[in-house]
Amino acid sequence: MTIISNLNNKPQNSAHILYCFEDLEQYLSNAAHYIISGIEKGDQIILIDNDKIYSKLREEISITLSTEQLMKVNFVNNFDYYCVNGQLHPPTTLDYFYKVVHPYYENDIPF
């Protein structure tokens, strides 16, 4: 299941994607393809996931992307993100999300 939510009502400008999966290898392949495609289009990527998956994704995308391009992949630990105050609290999570993306909006950087 993929849920895409456009945060600023501008088509094809930015989105928040929730990706539920059962097959880790397929997820890694899809995520790597999505990240590489976005970077090649000039976007910044904000990846909210766990350290183990991020490490595997980084290893996979490092084969294709340059060091400069890899700097455009911004990782946020999912536990820190979703449980910023020690527990899942949707309003706090949403506030944290806006703090994460605010610099991109302020500087007109696509992500």
pLDDT tens per residue, the chain (111 residues)? 333 333 443 444 556 677 778 899 999 999 999 899 989 988 888 888 999 999 999 999 999 999 999 999 989 888 877 776 677 667 777 777 788 778 877 887 766
Residue 3, strand partner residues: 18
Alpha helices in the chain (DSSP H): 24-40, 51-61, 67-70, 78-82, 90-106
So what's the pLDDT on residue 3? 33
Question: Whole-prediction pTM value?
Answer: 0.68
